[in-house]
Structure 1
Amino acid sequence: MTKVTDVVLNLIKIKGQKKEEAANTNERPPAKKQSPGELRLHKDIAELNLPKNTKVTFPNGKDDLMNIEVTLRPDEGYYVGGIFVFSFHVPHAYPHEPSKVRFITHPNIDLEGNVCLNILREDWKPVLNINTIIYGLNLLFIQPNHEDPLNHDAAVVLRDDPQKFQRDVQAAMLGGYVGQVYFPRCK
């Protein structure tokens, strides 16, 4: 009985040595262990079901999925015809923590680029994903919400004078000043 155990142990040892030799001959560095957040993000990206007006890119290449750029081209609402790029930084604790998303020129987006979307704050749940955030961002462009703004000035104009808000949006998208704030062209 002891001899069978010794043989099995030797076979396991030889198999391990062969794996090690094969790895050394390929001269590849050992694979980096992925965090649970990275594993979940791989799954979410594979399952993306984007609206036709949305594009996802990885500015640091496919090796860095934790940093994503999402480009929206609204096809209805105040922002129709605009091109809006958001940067997503996905934390390693994802999905237990929401992504950090930044941009500007919107009542629900402040001048520093912070996005006011309830699912990026108090309503975040691990069952939500990148796809949910992208649909939420699209909704902000179709139906801006003046009741929960980060950009209070834009929200007041939207609430009190929607036609002026429309003119301000168009002026901002063409590039130029709205009040004292300069907006780069996004059309």
Structure 2
Amino acid sequence: MIFFLFLAYSNCRTMIKLFKIKDQKREDAANSSGKAPIKKQSAGELRLHKDISELNLPKSTDITFPNGKDDLMNFEISIRPDEGYYQGGTFIFTFQVSPSYPHEPPKVKCKTKVYHPNIDLEGNVCLNILREDWKPVLNINTIVYGLILLFMQPNDEDPLNHEAAVVLRDNPKLFETNVKRAMTGGYVGQVYFPRCT
């Protein structure tokens, strides 16, 4: 009985070695043919590829890949709101997606300095689906529409920029003036905002 177990174990090890040799030969053949080595994609990359291929972006939104199409895990979304306080501005968000996506949300930052209650001056974004309300069934499309909604309906109840939130709540007219001043390139208080229109 022990002899048969040893024989089965030995055959199993031989099979594993054969599979490794076969994989190595396939990789060597791809490399010698001048093609780039075949890179295995993580589950997160596969899911992200699917999400990006199914994106349904509004006309006022674009996606770009600064590192080229080979790096799907890092991309930018630009949003040009067509109504509300931020109409006429262009706001760029960077997305960094980890290999464990969709089990954790992408890291999203706003590259455009903006006067907004839910985006701080370092570009951090306060959006519930990027934090505690993230679920693996959500996708990139959901995040983009969440960001668009932040520009349509800024939220003074869950702020990152507390000063902007107070102005929005207490004096919406002044808030609108501050947003326009920031978007056209100017100071709001002691903070300078580059033009984004």
TM-score (norm. length: structure 2) = 0.83
Q: Tell me if 1:75 matches 2:85.
A: no
Partner of 2:30: 23
Could you list the runs of 5+ residues in structure 2 that have no partner in the other structure?
A: 1-18
The amino acid of 2:55's aligned partner reads: L
Could you list the runs of 5+ residues in structure 1 that have no partner in the other structure?
A: 1-12
Q: Tell me if 1:96 matches 2:96.
A: no
Q: Tell me if 1:84 matches 2:94.
A: no
Partner of 1:54: 61
Q: Tell me if 1:108 matches 2:118.
A: yes
- 1:78 aligns to what SS in structure 2? coil
Partner of 2:3: none
Q: Distance in 2 between matches of 1:169 and 1:25?
A: 58
Partner of 2:9: none
- 1:96 aligns to what SS in structure 2? coil
1:1-187 aligned at under 5 Å gives the runs: 23=30, 25-103=32-110, 104-105=113-114, 106-187=116-197
**RMSD of aligned Cα (Å):** 1.9
The amino acid of 2:89's aligned partner reads: G
Cα distance change, pair 20–70 in 1 and its aligned pair in 2 (3 A): closer
Q: How many residues align?
A: 174
- 2:94 aligns to what SS in structure 1? strand
Cα distance change, pair 146–34 in 1 and its aligned pair in 2 (3 A): same
- 1:148 aligns to what SS in structure 2? coil
CA deviation map 1:86-145 (0-9, x unaligned): 111111111001011112421100111100000000000000011100000000000000
Q: Distance in 2 between matches of 1:18 and 1:65?
A: 28
Which stretch of structure 1 is more off in the superposition, 99-108 or 142-151? 99-108
Q: Displacement of 1:183 after TM fit? A: 0.6
Which stretch of structure 1 is more off in the superposition, 17-26 or 173-182? 17-26
- Displaced runs of 4 or more, over 6 A: none
- 2:77 aligns to what SS in structure 1? strand
